[in-house]
Amino acid sequence: MSFQVFGIAVSRGVAIGRAVLVASSRVDVAHYFVAVDQLQAEFDRLLRARDAVALELETLKAELPEDAPHELAALLDVHLMLLHDEAFTGGAGQWIFERHYNAEWALSAQLEVLARQFDEMEDDYLRERKADLEQVVERVLGALAQALGDAPAPITPRDFAGEDPLLLVAADIAPADMIQFKRSVFRGFITDIGGKTSHTAIVARSMDIPAVVGTREASRLIMQDDWVIIDGDAGTVIVNPSPIVLEEYRFRQRQSELERARLARLRHTPAVTLDGEQIELHANIEMPADAEAAVTAGATGVGLFRSEFLFMNREGELPSEDEQFAAYKAAVEAMRGMPVTIRTVDVGADKPLDRLTVNELRHEHVLNPAMGLRAIRWSLAEPSMFRQQLRAIYRASAFGKVRLLIPMVAHLSEVRQILETVKKVQQQLTDAGHAYTRVELGVMIEIPAAAVMLPLLLRHVDFVSIGTNDLIQYTLAIDRADEAVAHLYDPWHPAVLQLIHQSIAQARAAGKGVSVCGEMAGDPDFTELLLAMGLRSFSMHPSQIPAVKQRVLRADSLRLAAALTRVLESEDPRGTAERELASARTGTAVH
């Protein structure tokens, strides 16, 4: 039966494929792919874990005291029966051999399949056995966790020959998992929660694949292996589509691919407006390897290297100074002399570290991590870690142009502490004989307080970068990852536009560099508006550069600036911008 699920459109385009469900579990489950020559060994690892749990249950049963309730022995028998059922391990084995899932992922995927079968049973007693199944799965997952030394090294294949395209469906996808999935087989994402600037949405856009978030019920309604269409333009998910609908969307897919190919021809075209203004189009990256994609897309630098992703998937261990230095150096060298702006670690909110580290950082019981000990607040609270990261960044500056960006600054006292720490780090490097060059210091404008006090901040820094995602969130008091209030997240809100305009104007007046590195920078709907405000440096995911460059090439910045006042004073800024700024754009196609 075909049906539709509606959510929030966050990454454009159409994706068609089979659903892969990542089930929620009370036990953390690793999700990665296994090499072909390791599949049998991975299945054997699952069988060993199953046998260990079976032995444990049989021992418990044998050691039951004589006066133990009969129901307890019967319950252990049920668990043993489920454990040895072919649908349990055999089904999980299919996920391993056919999809190359690791054992933990295969087991949680099979749990999802079997749990739905239990839900559909008419008999109340049988239906309630789902809880027993969940307990058995958690026991086996625990056994797998105890034998992690046997686990194979993860791989992230781009595709498996002969496989159908795969779409990932989950209640939510942790940032650490997104990094694992980033270069794998998935052609699209669907999540129950999230908003336009939640982490899943941002990474989906960076991968240039369709995604719909905030669907609420998708992971419950969609079943493993269902054929699914993601309409990333409309925010619609179509499950088990009819042949007519499927063909229509395949046609749209082909059209989208042609449009991408046309825009790709702009790669070597300088980003210059019709009136001769040179525009910087930089890239946002998460890992050093992303720098190559930035160069390929025609980026003129890296405007945001999110260094926190070097800190994830590490089981509580922070990266060493040498490890960080190697990563930053690799990104700098890959950019071939173009500037690389490295943001110091920004953990917290939607990007926690793994559980062990989060507990150590006192995040475990924080009710609102977006307002808690995160970003520069955490760095200043962990001075040894902060100095270590700064030393790695400064050492990388010997291999190219590096700029240092500090997130979530709100107080002058923080800036003074940062400057003092930088001096200590420079002295440490000099004493150790490490080479480094001058590194420009910048702060992110993402808290309204920073935007309001910007003239004071500009006395102490070389540049500013406006992080529109958090600036909107904090200005409008909206959790950007909460689908319940996602409709209130409005980049066109007059207060947001005023803060962005004032920040750009004040930075330019002070002769300091200013860029926008939030999602607004990569959205072509905002390109003319930001140009009108005087912005000349944009930073976005590499996949977004061609579409923004096309808007730049068609724009006349002088005519745009003349229309800006009417947009900012309007009660309907979006509607006014569409009317006023469109007249300052040429309709001539760019080839």
Tell me the CA distances in angstroms from 516 to 266, 296, 468, one per residue in order: 22, 21, 7
| Candidates 79, 100, 363, 517; catalytic one | 517
58 known member of a binding site: no
205 is annotated as contributing to ligand binding: no
Residue 366's pLDDT is 52
| Residues in the chain, pLDDT under 50 | 26, 157-159, 161-162, 355-365, 587-591
Q: Is 411 considered catalytic here?
A: no
State yes or no: 163 annotated in a binding site.
Answer: no
**Separation CA 236–CA 304 (nearest Å):** 31
Structure-token pair, residue 61: 């049963």
pLDDT of residue 562: 93
**Do the annotations mark residue 248 as ligand-binding?**
no
> Which residues contact residue 32 at a Cβ distance below 8 angstroms, ignoring those fewer than 6 apart?
102, 105, 154, 155, 156, 180
For residue 397, give the DSSP letter.
G
The pairs formed by 566-570 with CB atoms below 8 angstroms and a separation of 24 or more are 567/497, 567/529, 567/532, 568/494, 568/497, 568/498, 568/501, 570/494
306 known member of a binding site: yes
Q: Is 469 annotated in some ligand binding site?
A: yes
Write the pLDDT tens digit of every residue in 505-524.
Answer: 999 999 999 999 988 999 99
Catalytic residue (one of 199, 282, 363, 501):
199
The model's pLDDT over 553-577, given as tens digits with 9 standing for 90+, comes to 999 999 999 999 999 999 999 999 9
Cite the DSSP H helix spans in 186-288: 199-207, 218-221, 243-264
Which domains are present in the chain? 3-22+157-261 (3.50.30.10), 36-150 (1.10.274.10), 265-584 (3.20.20.60)
8 Å CB contact between 9 and 130: no
- What gap in Å lies between CA 475 and CA 490, rounded to an integer? 10
Neighbours of 533 (CB within 10 A): 23
How far is CA 554 from each of CA 524, 527, 539, 557, rounded to the nearest angstrom? 12, 11, 19, 10
Active site residue 517: yes
For tokens 């260094």, the residue is 307
pLDDT for residue 23: 61
The rounded distance, in Å, linking the Cα atoms of 74 and 456 is 72
